[in-house]
Structure 1
């Protein structure tokens, strides 16, 4: 689109310049007319092709355009001579500069373009009178600049609306993707819960709740596994599940809680965290173990163990295990930056 508009601008300005070379009467100063044409074409084409992906135009090029708007009409009438002021090759400058001003609007210099309309109106009034200036190009210049400003504004608004629509579509796609992921995760969780608790619940129903000691122990283990899957899924792998099972089988209690503390950590780093957690649980001898992900910028997971003293079995629990699994250094730096 940009290339097509640039080609159209070049063709149109060249067409206007050719009109200045069709001399029905030989001008008094032909070199002045030709020089004005050359300045006009150089300036307009610079405005068209100068860094086409950026707006507005640089200040020096805007100054050149204003100088051209002043010089070209004056040079055209001066070069044509007093007897040919109303000839088409003498008045072409009004239409040519109008096109240049429209280009300025497109390139983001609206105020300069309207200033140029005032300039050519004053210059035209000086050479051929106010009525002649208005009828031969000044009004057309105002119309061109106004239409260019309107079209440019509409295109800018359309571009903004398109960008907003694209952003909304992207956000909608992300939301749909996240919902689909959550649905899949819920299905997996439900399926795992059924696999873990299904046999136990079936046995409870069959016996009417009259379970023997081994069945009750299996029910407690199934409940623990189910709680782990619901509350700490991101911390689990086969090794961690094995060690959690071992802690519970020896009579310990384990509580896991993941509140999103591992979000944003790379999968490889999470695997290392799980390995360290499994090692910690393997060496734990506490009666109750609490595992919780941490939002701290340097700590990923905190493991706390509590037990009653052997000398006072009925007394208060004391902390006999405190282990902090550090957050990976790369992720820690990202958290601090945020």
Structure 2
């Protein structure tokens, strides 16, 4: 059970939530196990002749006290974990305390074992009639092995369990007064069983570590994706803001708008927009949003008819409210700028609707109309300020127009799914995670480690069988031998690789039948009248198969096998005249072991869904926070850059200064530069910007276009080659018009330069391919 999962997780210095939860569960059952075995072995310690109860109690008390504290701390930690949003600081302190307590338990146990190996403080008499005279240190071996599994590293936990065996053999021999084969039997069988337990826990821990690593990777990917998406949205929002509020003012100055009052108002509005807080801070009610948009439309042009239809209220996220507002106003601005005609007046109408389907806004006019496919090429107004802006917030925008027949821009946004629809994917994800965890646990039975441990257990039981037959522990030995042979097929089937690691039901049924049969066959053959000792090896072997059924995801059949063993025990006890209490004392240890295995496996599977849900929520919040931070950073940087460049010019115009040729030239160059940043982000911040400005001053119309897409990555060397070539070209060109276009990623060429009479192409390495006419840049 210790292979087939990556070993890197073992070296993670800080345990993740899945591993911590497994540790809490194991610690809880370890604490309870110490108490249970202490209660069972109490009569042995108290009634055995030669034992000093007070001295024994003082010696064993530290282990019992530590167990009580461990059980309490682990139960408290599990409770905190089950709370919706646990107090993380308190939970972290509890986990650190739990790790320290478990390590202390191991140390105290070893120290007490060394004392008892050297001194005969706990002499053990012959087995009694109803109670197993187990030595408490040997009984706690299983619990200590489980505790070691969650405290020690993978290598050391196995070494620890094996190293304890000779020490406990000495403890047992010292307690009895001599080394007997029964001491070897005790330690050998317990060590084999504990190695199986360690193997199962190791697989469970590695599965938990793999889940922790996967969860951390998914959270990191979610944060990275959110940052990229936020960066893209912020760039779109900044581009749309610059287009809607700044470029129009610069164009008016560059064109020398004769209406000086309108020119001043345009400059003031642009300056005000740069200094105003554009982001909405909190969710907005639908009524407030629609009335605010209608009011802003009325301020822009009083002759526009606005209709607000409200049949259903929604809570609008702030970024959605801002996108709807800005997209609507841009649609209205486009209509005011482009729909007019000298021949006939234009009627405009804005309809704002909120109903059960969400929000829809229509901006329509009966103006000159246009072809949306043609108008969108190389222009940002429709594609960026309206369509992309709505898409960035999960909405949709459509443009319907035909030349000569007016235009209609429709914005739609639907609220999130209702709670029932939202919970369904969560439930499906939770069920998928639980099923995946259960399949991984089941697959552990198919590992090389599991088969090796099973072979060891089979060998130990075979040695016990041979020894018990040799010392004549049975009335007839063939039933015992046949029972051992009968146990082998279900064991092999439990370890066999099955499709999807799903154990067939018939295998589980067969296992239960064999468990019942071997116990009914072997127990009545035992000659001894008191405690059967290891002559009843069949019960332990049946418990091993039941634990295998648990790991295979067949808990009902596992408990059915244990119930069948109980029935066989009851029949044997009653038919041989043994005390009825022996049914309870004989099966109690087996039941506790099965409960421990079932509890750890089941509760860890159950906790998987809650932990995964918590991690998804944590990832969502982290991604959301990181996205907001990234968006704020980009918007602040872009706005600061724009403000620094345009404020001196627009301030002069707003103060009433006439648009001199020098100011008009500055406005033209600034407008071209800002438009380049919107249309061609690839060139932003490179030497091409300066060369393009110089070319424009010489009278060359330079148009930069970037069609590579938001997610395209270009090698640094290729970028350098392309930038250097374009820069050289712009520095020497004398053409009237130059269009430089970064091509889409699927094109064979990286970049195209088109002038009045020549076309140049750069390949995907940034090198010149050919030119249609004219000369070559050297």
Alignment TM class, shorter chain as reference = 0.5 to 0.7
3-state DSSP class of the match of 1:84?
Answer: coil
Alpha-carbon displacement from aligned partner over 1:53-92 (angstroms, at most 9, x marks no partner) = 3352523433554676787589669958455343274688
3-state DSSP class of the match of 2:203?
Answer: coil
Aligned length: 309
Q: Which protein, 1 or 2, shows the higher relative CO under an 8 Å CA cutoff with sep ≥ 6?
A: 2
Q: TM-score, normalised by structure 1?
A: 0.66
Check whether the contact 2:718–2:764 (CA below 8 A) recurs between aligned residues: no
Distance in 2 (alpha carbons) for counterparts of 1:236 and 1:133: 86
Q: TM-score, normalised by structure 2?
A: 0.33
1:324 maps to 2:772:
no
Check whether the contact 1:85–1:128 (CA below 8 A) recurs between aligned residues: no
- Please name the residue that 2:667 is paired with: 219
1:117 maps to 2:562:
yes
1:253 maps to 2:701:
yes
- Please name the residue that 2:680 is paired with: 232
Deviation of residue 197 (structure 1)? 2.0
Distance in 1 (alpha carbons) for counterparts of 2:686 and 2:175: 93
1:86 maps to 2:530:
yes
Alpha-carbon displacement from aligned partner over 1:84-128 (angstroms, at most 9, x marks no partner) = 34327468858866885787578x355599286378557746854
Distance in 2 (alpha carbons) for counterparts of 1:277 and 1:306: 12
Greater displacement, 73-82 / 257-266? 73-82
1:47 maps to which of 171, 196, 203:
196
- Please name the residue that 2:754 is paired with: 305
Distance in 2 (alpha carbons) for counterparts of 1:303 and 1:179: 36
Distance in 1 (alpha carbons) for counterparts of 2:676 and 2:142: 72
1:196 maps to which of 636, 645, 661:
645
Distance in 1 (alpha carbons) for counterparts of 2:571 and 2:600: 32
Alpha-carbon displacement from aligned partner over 1:122-174 (angstroms, at most 9, x marks no partner) = 77468545878843434763564245323322123334543553454345434
Check whether the contact 1:300–1:325 (CA below 8 A) recurs between aligned residues: yes
1:291 maps to 2:740:
yes
3-state DSSP class of the match of 2:659?
Answer: coil
1:59 maps to 2:448:
no
3-state DSSP class of the match of 1:324?
Answer: strand
Deviation of residue 245 (structure 1)? 0.4
RMSD: 4.9
1:153 maps to 2:599:
no
Check whether the contact 2:464–2:534 (CA below 8 A) recurs between aligned residues: no
- Please name the residue that 2:284 is paired with: none
Alpha-carbon displacement from aligned partner over 1:205-243 (angstroms, at most 9, x marks no partner) = 3446x4233322221111111212333334223521111
Distance in 2 (alpha carbons) for counterparts of 1:51 and 1:298: 55
Structure 1 residues 154 and 109: CA distance shift in structure 2, 3 A: same
Greater displacement, 66-75 / 136-145? 66-75
- Please name the residue that 1:277 is paired with: 726
Check whether the contact 2:700–2:736 (CA below 8 A) recurs between aligned residues: yes
Deviation of residue 294 (structure 1)? 3.5
Structure 1 residues 238 and 46: CA distance shift in structure 2, 3 A: closer
Check whether the contact 1:276–1:325 (CA below 8 A) recurs between aligned residues: no
Distance in 1 (alpha carbons) for counterparts of 2:169 and 2:582: 19
Greater displacement, 213-222 / 228-237? 228-237
Structure 1 residues 23 and 207: CA distance shift in structure 2, 3 A: closer
Check whether the contact 2:722–2:762 (CA below 8 A) recurs between aligned residues: no
Alpha-carbon displacement from aligned partner over 1:311-336 (angstroms, at most 9, x marks no partner) = xxxxxxx6x223235258xxxxxxxx
Alpha-carbon displacement from aligned partner over 1:171-194 (angstroms, at most 9, x marks no partner) = 543443343223222222112212
Check whether the contact 1:77–1:85 (CA below 8 A) recurs between aligned residues: no
Distance in 1 (alpha carbons) for counterparts of 2:530 and 2:750: 88
Structure 1 residues 142 and 48: CA distance shift in structure 2, 3 A: closer
Distance in 2 (alpha carbons) for counterparts of 1:101 and 1:233: 66
Distance in 1 (alpha carbons) for counterparts of 2:728 and 2:655: 39
Distance in 1 (alpha carbons) for counterparts of 2:461 and 2:582: 14
Alpha-carbon displacement from aligned partner over 1:12-70 (angstroms, at most 9, x marks no partner) = 688x999998999xxxxx74x55643541342133134486335252343355467678
Distance in 2 (alpha carbons) for counterparts of 1:178 and 1:271: 30
Structure 1 residues 102 and 160: CA distance shift in structure 2, 3 A: farther
Distance in 1 (alpha carbons) for counterparts of 2:528 and 2:172: 12
Distance in 2 (alpha carbons) for counterparts of 1:83 and 1:12: 34
2:630 maps to which of 181, 187, 196:
181
1:162 maps to 2:597:
no
Distance in 1 (alpha carbons) for counterparts of 2:627 and 2:581: 68
- Please name the residue that 2:363 is paired with: none
